[in-house]
Amino acid sequence: MRWKSYKELPVKRFDRAEIYKNTLWLESLPGMYTKTGRLFSIDLEYERIMEAIPHHGNIEDFVIQPDGTIFAMMSYEDADELWFCRKNEWDFVCKIHAYEEIPPGFDETKTRPRSRLLNIFVWKQEIIILTAASIMRYSLDKKEWKQVKLSERFYNAPHSPSAVITSSGMIYLGFNGGEFGGSLRSLCIETGLVTNLEWAVTVGSEVQLVNMMGETRKSQPLYQTLSTPVTGIIIDPLDPDKIIYSLGMQHMGSEHGGVFKLHETEKELVFGETAVYDLRSNGKSYFAGTSISLLEFGDGKQRSIDYGIFRNVGGAWLSTPAPGVAVIPTDMNRKTSLCGNTPLLAVERIK
């Protein structure tokens, strides 16, 4: 079954996918299939699907290390928790104490409001957790938490942003608001300073909101910076000083978007022929998912790869159009756009 013929079939609302040693890991959002987000694993050789976490919490995000270790953040009715998996054995790490600031007059007899969990990263010997209001840093050596408040809150994000962390500790975030647009931000984990990358330029020691046309604004709402949502963000595999991000929008019969490189405030168009719905790197080249085909970029070249045949594995439709690459249809973008299913990519990193 090929892309166009299957496109309107009901599929699970997957929003993250990773490959490690012939195993595909899929994270699903709450929806018509499950009341909570779940994590599944698919053996690509034998095509068997299993639920990966035997708990009843809601998985918010996960990250796979080069040695196969998985860290996952889970939310429950009364607590948030950090778990890790090694050789298919899950173990509890600690509670995640990500709380909101207590408002004036708060009733101390009530449960303190928790901050929404968005993304998880492993940086050096720390677990970095991004919430809607702060950065939570957990030292794997000292077993201690440190909380850094954000200069801008992300309360109105419809779901977790595309995100990547650099070796210097900068997080780059791409927000997908569907028909309401998107936003590109950077975040310093040391200070919590959030910068709007579509508008910000540095004048001396002061950051001003200035777009490429020289227009200045005092502030900019989260989803009115870009008219097109950000669907993926990676570090350039050929130049770690650059960020590559994708834009993609399908709404009421039209598509637009592309792939861009960003270095400080300089933006370069890489591809702009159609919408791109996901962007992933294997460490040497990178792949972009469109509604027509899979695109691979590397060494200044671009090639188009047919998605091939999609097959149903335990309710998850997927294809493997290239070695170390899986494409999974997802309906997660239907929440904010009048679109059909869009491609979600999983790309295994090359050592």
Beta bridge partners of 196: 185
pLDDT (tens digit, 9 = 90+) per residue, 191-225? Answer: 999 988 865 433 344 444 444 334 444 444 444 45
Residue 20 CB contacts under 8 Å (≥ 6 apart), including other chains: 64, 68, 348
Q: Quick check: 184 pLDDT over 80?
A: yes
Rounded distance between C-alpha atoms, residue 176 and residue 90, angstroms: 31
pLDDT for 105? 59
134 vs 105, residue with greater confidence: 134
Domain count, the chain: 1
Query: What number of CA atoms fall less than 13 Å from residue 27's CA on the CB side?
Result: 23
What CATH number is associated with residue 162? 2.130.10.10
pTM of the predicted model, to two decimals?
A: 0.85
pLDDT (tens digit, 9 = 90+) per residue, 113-135? Answer: 778 899 999 999 999 999 988 99
* Residue found under tokens 């097109």: 228
The reply to whether 106 falls in a domain is no
pLDDT (tens digit, 9 = 90+) per residue, 28-74? Answer: 876 544 556 788 888 888 888 888 765 667 888 999 999 999 999 99
pLDDT for 112? 60
The radius of gyration of the chain from alpha carbons, rounded to an integer in Å, stands at 20
pLDDT (tens digit, 9 = 90+) per residue, 73-100? Answer: 998 888 899 999 988 888 999 999 887 6
The reply to whether 109 falls in a domain is no
As a whole number, the mean pLDDT across the chain is: 81
The reply to whether 212 falls in a domain is yes
The reply to whether 105 falls in a domain is no
Query: Residue 212, SS3?
Result: coil
Question: Could you tell me if 258 and 276 are in contact, meaning their C-beta atoms sit under 8 angstroms apart?
Answer: yes
Query: What number of CA atoms fall less than 13 Å from residue 114's CA on the CB side?
Result: 18
- The pLDDT confidence band at residue 294, using thresholds 50, 70 and 90, is very high
pLDDT (tens digit, 9 = 90+) per residue, 236-277? Answer: 999 998 999 999 887 666 788 899 998 877 788 899 888 899
Question: Could you tell me if 36 and 28 are in contact, meaning their C-beta atoms sit under 8 angstroms apart?
Answer: no
Cβ-in-10-Å burial (0-12, 13-18, 19+) of 219 comes to exposed
pLDDT for 75? 87
Structural domain including 82 reads 3-99+114-347
Question: Which of 293, 175, 167, 273 lies closest to 233, judged by CA?
Answer: 175
pLDDT for 109? 56
Q: Which element (helix H / strand E) includes 4?
A: helix 3-6
Q: Quick check: 285 pLDDT over 80?
A: yes
Question: Could you tell me if 296 and 287 are in contact, meaning their C-beta atoms sit under 8 angstroms apart?
Answer: yes
Residue 7 CB contacts under 8 Å (≥ 6 apart), including other chains: 291, 329, 340, 341
pLDDT for 108? 56
The reply to whether 26 falls in a domain is yes
pLDDT for 54? 54
The reply to whether 107 falls in a domain is no
The reply to whether 256 falls in a domain is yes
Q: Quick check: 297 pLDDT over 90?
A: yes
Question: Which of 10, 19, 16, 20 lies closest to 29, judged by CA?
Answer: 16
Query: Residue 187, SS3?
Result: strand
Question: Could you tell me if 295 and 287 are in contact, meaning their C-beta atoms sit under 8 angstroms apart?
Answer: yes
DSSP state of 5: H
What number of H helices and E strands is found in the chain?
Answer: 1, 31
Mean pLDDT throughout 295-315? 90
pLDDT (tens digit, 9 = 90+) per residue, 221-237? Answer: 444 455 678 899 999 99
Residues 181-199: b if buried by 16+ CB within 10 A, e if exposed = bbbbbbbbbeebebbbbbb
The reply to whether 104 falls in a domain is no
Rounded distance between C-alpha atoms, residue 96 and residue 81, angstroms: 5
Query: Residue 156, SS3?
Result: coil
**Rounded to 5, what percent of the chain is helix, strand, coil?**
5, 50, 45
